[in-house]
Structure 1
C-alpha cells in the first residue's frame, strides 16, 4: 500500500488480502463465514468486527442486505496498483476484481483511461459487441482490474444479489469461451444474456444464481444457442 494508506493491524491485513484473493479467483468477495473458517475464527461475528474496522479505515465498503457485500474502494485499489509497480513489493498484492467503483467517480483525472462499450439488449445470432448493441461508452482506469475488460454489461435483475451484483450495475467483462468452476460468467441463451456462477460436471453446465429466489439454469448437450461470452472482472455502480 502507499504511504497515504491507512495502517492495518496484521490480522486486518490478513483479512484484506483474503478478500482480494477471493475476488481475483472467483469474481466475488467471501462471506463472513468463509472468512471465519479460513482464518480460524470461532464465529462469523469475529470476522464482522474486523470488516467493520476495515470499513472505518476506508479500505473497504460494506453493502447491507447481502452475505457477500464487501467492496474494495477505488482509492485503495489505486494504492495497491502503485505498490504492485514498486520493485520491493512486486507480486505481493492482487487487485480485487469487483471494485465497487461508481460511474460518478470516473474518469479519474491524470490516469490512463480505458474506454469500454456498454452493451444493451443483445439480439439472437449477433455478436455481443455488434454495433447495434452498444448504448454508449465509459472511460475507466485499467489498473482497477486484474484482467483487462472488453466491455460493460448492464445487469438486469437480482439473481446475483448475494454476490454483491445488483440490478442496474455495470459489469466489466473480459471475453472468453472458457471458465473454471466457481467463476462468475456472462452466458448467452438465445437472445437472453445472463450473469451467473459457472459450474461444470459430467452432466453438463449449470449456471448458478446467488439468490435463493432464483433457480439454477441447467445447460445440457441439447440446449440450443448456448455461448459463454466472458468472465466478470469488475463492477461499476452508477450513482446518478
Structure 2
C-alpha cells in the first residue's frame, strides 16, 4: 500500500500526472529538475526513487521517460484523461488524441520513428526521434514502434500527415492490410494488394497513384499497422 508523501514528493508526483495528462508521456529527469527548480537531475532521481519505494510509480531502467504511474495521491482531484477509441474504414483502431486514463493503464514505452535514413534499418538509433509512453490496450496487437506519418496518401481511411502509426514488426502481411513497406531506400505506408501475381501498394487518396513494384526493385514489408494515434484534433 502506498505511504504518505512529503510535500516535495507530492509536488513531483503532481507534475508527473500533469505532464501525462497534457502530453501523453512522462517527463525526463532533466524536465523535472528544470520545472521544479532542482539544481541537478540527481535531485529529481532521488525523488523518483522515493516515489517508487512508496508505491506511486514504477521506474523502467534504461529509458529516459521510463516512469509508469501506478496510483495518484488519494486527495488528487485532477480529471481522468479520456481516450476516444474509434474505428476507421480500414478496421484499424485509433485514439483521437494522445491522452490516457492514468492510474491503471498497461503502459509501454515505444520508440517514435521520424524520417528514415536511406538504407538504414527502420529501428536504427539515428531514426528514433524520441520515446513515448502509450497504453498498449489501444491497439489490436502490441506494437513495436510508432511511425510518424508523412503526407496525405492514406487520408481517406483517416491516416493523416503527422499522425503516429502504431506498427508491429513483421515481414509478412495479407492482401488488404495496411503495411509499412520499403522500396529500395524509401519507406511508405500503403494498403497491400496484388495484381496478376505482382505486388501493388495502394494509396487511400485519389490524388495519389498506386505503386507497382517493378522487377529489380528491392521490396520488403517492415511492419503491419495495428493502430493510430491522432496528434491533432480534426476540424
TM-score, length basis structure 1: 0.57
Following superposition, the deviation at residue 107 of structure 1 comes to 6.9
* Alignment partners' CA distance in 1, 2:109 and 2:190: 25
* Alignment partners' CA distance in 1, 2:183 and 2:192: 14
Any conservation in 2 of the 1:189–1:227 contact (CA below 8 Å)? Answer: yes
Which of 183, 188, 199 is equivalent to 2:182? 188
* Alignment partners' CA distance in 2, 1:226 and 1:201: 16
Aligned length: 148
Please name the residue that 2:115 is paired with: 121
Any conservation in 1 of the 2:83–2:101 contact (CA below 8 Å)? Answer: no
Secondary structure of the 2:191 match is: strand
Please name the residue that 1:74 is paired with: 83
Any conservation in 2 of the 1:74–1:99 contact (CA below 8 Å)? Answer: no
Q: Could you list the runs of 5+ residues in structure 2 that have no partner in the other structure?
A: 1-81
* Alignment partners' CA distance in 1, 2:140 and 2:85: 14
Please name the residue that 2:224 is paired with: 231
Secondary structure of the 1:143 match is: helix
| Structure 2 counterparts to residues 104-119 of structure 1, below 5 A | 105-106=99-100, 108-119=102-113
Please name the residue that 1:99 is paired with: 94
TM-score, length basis structure 2: 0.58
| 1:174 has 2:161 as partner | no
* Alignment partners' CA distance in 2, 1:123 and 1:107: 35
Secondary structure of the 2:137 match is: helix
Q: Could you list the runs of 5+ residues in structure 1 that have no partner in the other structure?
A: 1-72, 78-95
* Alignment partners' CA distance in 1, 2:85 and 2:111: 25
| Structure 2 counterparts to residues 209-228 of structure 1, below 5 A | 209-223=203-217, 225-228=218-221
Which fold has the larger relative contact order, with Cα–Cα distance below 8 Å and residues 6 or more apart in sequence? 1
Alignment RMSD:
2.1
Larger Rg: 2
Cα shift readout 1:122-164 (whole Å, capped 9, x = no counterpart): 1222210001100011111111112110000010111000011
Following superposition, the deviation at residue 76 of structure 1 comes to 5.5
Structure number with higher helix proportion: 1
Any conservation in 2 of the 1:97–1:144 contact (CA below 8 Å)? Answer: no
